[in-house]
Amino acid sequence: MDLKLDHHSKDGIEVVDVEGEIDVYTAPRLRELLIELVNNRFYQLVVNMEKVEFLDSTGLGVLVGGLKRVRAHDGSLDLVCTQERILKIFRITGLTKVFGIHDTVDEAIAARRAEK
Amino acid sequence: MATVELSFTALPAHVRTARLVATAVARRSGVDESLLDEVRLAVGEACSRAVESHQLHCPAEPVRLALTDRAGRFEVEVTETCATGADDPGGSAAQPGAGSGSGPLTLDGAGLPAGLGIAVIESLADDVQISTTPAGTSIRMSWPAARPSR
Protein backbone atom coordinates (compact mmCIF):
# COMPACT_ATOMS: atom_id res chain seq x y z
CA MET A 1 0.00 0.00 0.00
CA ASP A 2 0.98 3.61 -0.36
CA LEU A 3 2.08 5.84 2.49
CA LYS A 4 -0.44 7.63 4.70
CA LEU A 5 0.74 10.45 6.93
CA ASP A 6 -1.08 12.33 9.64
CA HIS A 7 -0.06 14.32 12.68
CA HIS A 8 -1.60 15.72 15.84
CA SER A 9 -0.52 17.35 19.08
CA LYS A 10 -0.59 15.43 22.33
CA ASP A 11 0.68 16.80 25.62
CA GLY A 12 2.77 19.39 23.80
CA ILE A 13 4.44 16.84 21.56
CA GLU A 14 3.68 16.45 17.87
CA VAL A 15 2.80 12.85 17.04
CA VAL A 16 3.30 11.77 13.43
CA ASP A 17 1.25 8.72 12.45
CA VAL A 18 2.75 6.78 9.56
CA GLU A 19 0.92 3.99 7.77
CA GLY A 20 2.07 1.88 4.83
CA GLU A 21 5.44 1.51 3.17
CA ILE A 22 8.42 3.84 3.56
CA ASP A 23 10.76 3.28 0.65
CA VAL A 24 12.69 5.15 -2.02
CA TYR A 25 9.39 6.24 -3.62
CA THR A 26 7.41 7.33 -0.57
CA ALA A 27 10.16 8.49 1.81
CA PRO A 28 10.37 12.00 0.28
CA ARG A 29 6.80 12.65 1.52
CA LEU A 30 7.77 11.78 5.08
CA ARG A 31 10.87 13.92 4.74
CA GLU A 32 8.75 16.87 3.54
CA LEU A 33 6.37 16.49 6.47
CA LEU A 34 9.21 16.39 9.01
CA ILE A 35 10.78 19.47 7.43
CA GLU A 36 7.41 21.24 7.47
CA LEU A 37 6.91 20.45 11.15
CA VAL A 38 10.36 21.73 12.07
CA ASN A 39 9.78 24.86 9.98
CA ASN A 40 6.57 25.35 11.98
CA ARG A 41 8.58 25.11 15.21
CA PHE A 42 7.53 21.62 16.25
CA TYR A 43 10.76 20.33 17.74
CA GLN A 44 9.44 17.54 19.99
CA LEU A 45 8.33 14.75 17.68
CA VAL A 46 7.12 11.19 18.13
CA VAL A 47 6.85 9.12 14.95
CA ASN A 48 4.32 6.34 15.40
CA MET A 49 5.38 3.46 13.15
CA GLU A 50 2.99 0.82 14.41
CA LYS A 51 1.19 0.71 11.05
CA VAL A 52 4.33 0.79 8.92
CA GLU A 53 4.51 -2.32 6.76
CA PHE A 54 7.90 -1.78 5.18
CA LEU A 55 10.94 0.38 5.93
CA ASP A 56 14.21 0.45 4.03
CA SER A 57 17.47 2.37 4.38
CA THR A 58 16.00 5.33 2.49
CA GLY A 59 13.36 5.63 5.19
CA LEU A 60 16.02 5.32 7.87
CA GLY A 61 17.88 8.19 6.21
CA VAL A 62 14.77 10.35 6.37
CA LEU A 63 14.25 9.57 10.07
CA VAL A 64 17.89 10.33 10.87
CA GLY A 65 17.59 13.54 8.86
CA GLY A 66 14.53 14.48 10.92
CA LEU A 67 16.39 13.71 14.12
CA LYS A 68 19.26 15.95 13.09
CA ARG A 69 16.88 18.78 12.28
CA VAL A 70 15.05 18.69 15.63
CA ARG A 71 18.29 18.28 17.56
CA ALA A 72 19.54 21.46 15.94
CA HIS A 73 16.76 23.13 17.95
CA ASP A 74 17.40 21.08 21.10
CA GLY A 75 14.43 18.94 20.17
CA SER A 76 13.81 15.21 20.00
CA LEU A 77 12.46 12.57 17.66
CA ASP A 78 11.33 9.33 19.27
CA LEU A 79 9.82 6.31 17.57
CA VAL A 80 6.97 4.00 18.46
CA CYS A 81 7.44 0.52 17.04
CA THR A 82 6.89 -3.02 18.28
CA GLN A 83 6.99 -4.86 14.96
CA GLU A 84 9.94 -7.19 14.76
CA ARG A 85 10.30 -6.88 10.97
CA ILE A 86 10.66 -3.11 11.25
CA LEU A 87 12.85 -3.19 14.36
CA LYS A 88 15.22 -5.55 12.59
CA ILE A 89 16.58 -2.90 10.22
CA PHE A 90 17.18 -0.56 13.17
CA ARG A 91 19.18 -3.31 14.87
CA ILE A 92 21.14 -4.23 11.72
CA THR A 93 22.19 -0.63 11.24
CA GLY A 94 22.85 0.10 14.91
CA LEU A 95 20.21 2.82 14.95
CA THR A 96 18.53 1.40 18.06
CA LYS A 97 21.22 3.35 19.90
CA VAL A 98 20.36 6.57 18.11
CA PHE A 99 16.58 6.63 18.48
CA GLY A 100 14.43 6.22 21.54
CA ILE A 101 12.14 3.36 20.49
CA HIS A 102 8.99 2.81 22.54
CA ASP A 103 6.04 0.43 22.63
CA THR A 104 3.30 3.05 22.71
CA VAL A 105 2.83 6.75 21.99
CA ASP A 106 1.98 7.37 25.64
CA GLU A 107 5.18 5.65 26.71
CA ALA A 108 7.22 7.73 24.25
CA ILE A 109 5.65 10.95 25.54
CA ALA A 110 6.13 9.93 29.17
CA ALA A 111 9.79 9.08 28.54
CA ARG A 112 10.35 12.42 26.85
CA ARG A 113 8.67 14.31 29.69
CA ALA A 114 10.75 12.45 32.25
CA GLU A 115 13.91 13.69 30.54
CA LYS A 116 12.87 17.32 30.71
CA MET B 1 17.44 -19.22 -17.50
CA ALA B 2 15.84 -17.41 -14.59
CA THR B 3 12.48 -18.59 -13.30
CA VAL B 4 11.15 -15.05 -13.56
CA GLU B 5 12.79 -12.02 -15.12
CA LEU B 6 11.65 -8.47 -14.65
CA SER B 7 12.89 -5.40 -16.43
CA PHE B 8 11.65 -2.05 -15.19
CA THR B 9 12.09 1.63 -15.90
CA ALA B 10 14.48 3.17 -13.40
CA LEU B 11 11.87 4.96 -11.34
CA PRO B 12 11.42 4.71 -7.55
CA ALA B 13 7.73 3.90 -8.04
CA HIS B 14 8.61 0.54 -9.59
CA VAL B 15 10.80 -0.68 -6.73
CA ARG B 16 7.70 -1.75 -4.81
CA THR B 17 6.58 -3.87 -7.78
CA ALA B 18 10.01 -5.51 -7.86
CA ARG B 19 9.74 -6.32 -4.13
CA LEU B 20 6.27 -7.80 -4.56
CA VAL B 21 7.30 -9.98 -7.49
CA ALA B 22 10.47 -11.17 -5.75
CA THR B 23 8.56 -12.06 -2.59
CA ALA B 24 5.89 -13.95 -4.55
CA VAL B 25 8.47 -15.98 -6.47
CA ALA B 26 10.46 -16.64 -3.27
CA ARG B 27 7.33 -18.02 -1.64
CA ARG B 28 6.59 -20.15 -4.70
CA SER B 29 10.19 -21.41 -4.66
CA GLY B 30 9.80 -22.67 -1.10
CA VAL B 31 11.69 -19.99 0.81
CA ASP B 32 10.59 -20.21 4.43
CA GLU B 33 7.93 -17.70 5.47
CA SER B 34 10.25 -16.41 8.19
CA LEU B 35 12.78 -15.35 5.53
CA LEU B 36 10.37 -13.57 3.19
CA ASP B 37 10.71 -10.22 4.97
CA GLU B 38 14.47 -10.47 4.53
CA VAL B 39 14.08 -11.21 0.82
CA ARG B 40 11.67 -8.27 0.46
CA LEU B 41 14.02 -5.86 2.20
CA ALA B 42 17.20 -7.02 0.46
CA VAL B 43 15.60 -6.90 -2.99
CA GLY B 44 14.19 -3.45 -2.20
CA GLU B 45 17.60 -2.18 -1.14
CA ALA B 46 19.32 -3.57 -4.24
CA CYS B 47 16.65 -2.21 -6.60
CA SER B 48 16.59 1.23 -4.91
CA ARG B 49 20.31 1.43 -5.31
CA ALA B 50 20.17 0.40 -8.98
CA VAL B 51 17.37 2.90 -9.71
CA GLU B 52 19.34 5.71 -8.16
CA SER B 53 22.45 4.76 -10.10
CA HIS B 54 20.49 4.60 -13.36
CA GLN B 55 18.89 7.95 -12.72
CA LEU B 56 22.35 9.44 -12.43
CA HIS B 57 24.00 7.64 -15.32
CA CYS B 58 21.46 6.24 -17.77
CA PRO B 59 17.84 7.06 -16.91
CA ALA B 60 16.51 5.61 -20.16
CA GLU B 61 17.89 2.13 -19.50
CA PRO B 62 15.91 -0.43 -17.49
CA VAL B 63 16.99 -2.16 -14.29
CA ARG B 64 16.92 -5.94 -14.52
CA LEU B 65 15.82 -8.34 -11.82
CA ALA B 66 16.29 -12.09 -12.30
CA LEU B 67 14.75 -14.56 -9.87
CA THR B 68 15.86 -18.17 -10.09
CA ASP B 69 14.74 -21.27 -8.24
CA ARG B 70 17.85 -23.45 -8.48
CA ALA B 71 18.74 -26.64 -6.62
CA GLY B 72 17.35 -25.74 -3.26
CA ARG B 73 18.34 -22.07 -3.46
CA PHE B 74 16.33 -19.03 -4.37
CA GLU B 75 18.66 -16.70 -6.22
CA VAL B 76 18.13 -13.01 -6.96
CA GLU B 77 20.22 -10.89 -9.28
CA VAL B 78 19.72 -7.14 -9.65
CA THR B 79 21.67 -5.75 -12.59
CA GLU B 80 22.39 -2.26 -13.77
CA THR B 81 22.36 -2.00 -17.53
CA CYS B 82 23.93 1.32 -18.43
CA ALA B 83 24.99 0.76 -22.02
CA THR B 84 27.36 3.70 -21.89
CA GLY B 85 28.86 2.62 -18.60
CA ALA B 86 28.26 4.06 -15.19
CA ASP B 87 30.29 7.18 -14.69
CA ASP B 88 31.85 6.27 -11.41
CA PRO B 89 35.58 6.64 -11.83
CA GLY B 90 36.35 5.56 -8.31
CA GLY B 91 34.27 2.46 -8.69
CA SER B 92 32.99 3.12 -5.22
CA ALA B 93 29.46 2.02 -6.07
CA ALA B 94 30.62 -1.54 -6.32
CA GLN B 95 32.55 -1.83 -3.13
CA PRO B 96 30.68 -3.30 -0.23
CA GLY B 97 31.09 -1.13 2.79
CA ALA B 98 32.73 1.63 0.81
CA GLY B 99 29.44 2.62 -0.72
CA SER B 100 28.49 5.17 -3.29
CA GLY B 101 27.75 8.79 -2.79
CA SER B 102 24.77 8.20 -5.02
CA GLY B 103 23.09 5.56 -2.84
CA PRO B 104 19.52 5.98 -1.67
CA LEU B 105 20.68 7.39 1.64
CA THR B 106 21.77 10.62 0.04
CA LEU B 107 18.09 11.34 -0.57
CA ASP B 108 17.82 13.13 2.72
CA GLY B 109 21.37 14.33 3.06
CA ALA B 110 21.15 12.63 6.39
CA GLY B 111 24.83 11.94 6.69
CA LEU B 112 24.35 8.24 7.31
CA PRO B 113 27.28 6.07 6.32
CA ALA B 114 27.44 5.68 2.56
CA GLY B 115 26.81 2.13 1.43
CA LEU B 116 24.44 1.34 4.27
CA GLY B 117 22.08 -0.27 1.75
CA ILE B 118 24.81 -2.74 0.79
CA ALA B 119 25.56 -3.42 4.45
CA VAL B 120 21.88 -4.16 5.02
CA ILE B 121 21.82 -6.55 2.06
CA GLU B 122 24.91 -8.35 3.33
CA SER B 123 23.35 -8.87 6.71
CA LEU B 124 20.10 -10.22 5.25
CA ALA B 125 21.21 -12.71 2.60
CA ASP B 126 23.37 -15.78 3.24
CA ASP B 127 25.35 -15.36 0.13
CA VAL B 128 25.96 -11.98 -1.52
CA GLN B 129 28.15 -11.36 -4.53
CA ILE B 130 28.72 -7.90 -5.89
CA SER B 131 30.40 -7.41 -9.22
CA THR B 132 31.09 -4.49 -11.48
CA THR B 133 30.91 -4.39 -15.24
CA PRO B 134 31.14 -1.42 -17.60
CA ALA B 135 27.31 -1.41 -17.48
CA GLY B 136 27.24 -0.95 -13.73
CA THR B 137 26.91 -3.06 -10.63
CA SER B 138 25.35 -6.47 -10.30
CA ILE B 139 24.20 -7.76 -6.93
CA ARG B 140 23.52 -11.47 -6.60
CA MET B 141 22.11 -12.91 -3.41
CA SER B 142 20.43 -16.14 -2.41
CA TRP B 143 18.43 -17.86 0.30
CA PRO B 144 17.65 -21.51 1.00
CA ALA B 145 14.51 -22.84 -0.66
CA ALA B 146 12.86 -25.96 0.65
CA ARG B 147 11.50 -27.42 -2.54
CA PRO B 148 13.77 -28.78 -5.25
CA SER B 149 14.02 -26.86 -8.47
CA ARG B 150 11.32 -27.57 -11.03
Residue of A nearest to B37 (CA): A85
Grade residue B130 by pLDDT with cuts at 50, 70 and 90: very high
**Domain housing A102:** 4-115
Instruction: Set out the domains of chain B in order of their start, with CATH numbers.
Output: 4-144 (3.30.565.10)
User: Across residues A72-79, what is the average pLDDT?
Assistant: 97
What pLDDT, on a 0 to 100 scale, did the predictor assign at position B36?
Answer: 96
Q: Which residues in chain A have Cβ-Cβ distances shorter than 8 Å to B123?
A: 92
Q: Residue B100's CB: how many other CB atoms inside 10 A? A: 25
Q: Which residues in chain B have Cβ-Cβ distances shorter than 8 Å to A31?
A: 107-108
Separation in Å, CA of A24 to nearest CA in chain B? 6
Residue A32 has pLDDT above 90, yes or no: yes
Q: Which residues in chain B have Cβ-Cβ distances shorter than 8 Å to A3?
A: none
Grade residue A1 by pLDDT with cuts at 50, 70 and 90: low
User: Across residues B102-111, what is the average pLDDT?
Assistant: 43
Residue A77: give its domain's CATH number: 3.30.750.24
pLDDT tens string B88-97: 444 444 443 3
